[in-house]
Structure 1
Amino acid sequence: MENLDRYWRAVQQAVCVKCIDSDGAGTCRLSNDDACGLRAHFSKIVESVLSVRSDTLEPYLEALRNNVCAHCKHQSPDGKCMVRGQLDCGLDRYFPLVIDAIESACAELDETPEAFGD
């Protein structure tokens, strides 16, 4: 995906610096065993966010659950996620900020979002 690095930098500046798992400067302190879901699934997250245009969070959450969470090792086949349920999923915790960062970067790039999977 083009501009993935640009989106990542935008998310680091807007989200990672505020994350409780960072050092305050945006550097993640999670170990490789507890890798950040945001980084691990970033390309699918960007595709999911750019596939939605809405003033409400629900369509974005639906895209996230279908396109990212459904493939995450922490989610069970019935759609439950113990990590998310315990509020330990940084992606879920900061998703509204992630959406804003990606959409702002997209607007700066003056891109027309493509549908998921295109």
Structure 2
Amino acid sequence: MARVTSGARAEATVAEFLKKHGLKILDRNWKTKVCELDIVARKKDVIYFIEVKYRQSADQGGGLDHITSQKHNQIKFAARIWNQQHEYEGDYRTIGAEVSGPNFENISLVEID
């Protein structure tokens, strides 16, 4: 149960961080039967699909290390479905967001395209 709570808190932390940096949150925890996206956000004419990973300490390894090529392909697949459902044909990016620290105080964003 703690993992779900930590994951939800990490996603909320990243969503607030993105809003403070001028992005509009379009979707959170968007799901279909076959795929999911943690956060979908927009800034200007670009849509960002964000995968959030949380690690309490460095002993658990970096969260972004857990975005494997298979996971990246799943994110891109989900992004294509989201784009189709929303009739969006513009520019988009896939982003890995790592949250770390016992108080969720460290946030790193990396483009994973």
RCO comparison, higher one (Cα < 8 Å, 6+): 1
Q: Going by fraction, where is helix more abundant, 1 or 2?
A: 1
Q: Which has the higher strand share?
A: 2
TM-score in terms of structure 1 length = 0.37
Q: Normalising by structure 2, what TM-score?
A: 0.38
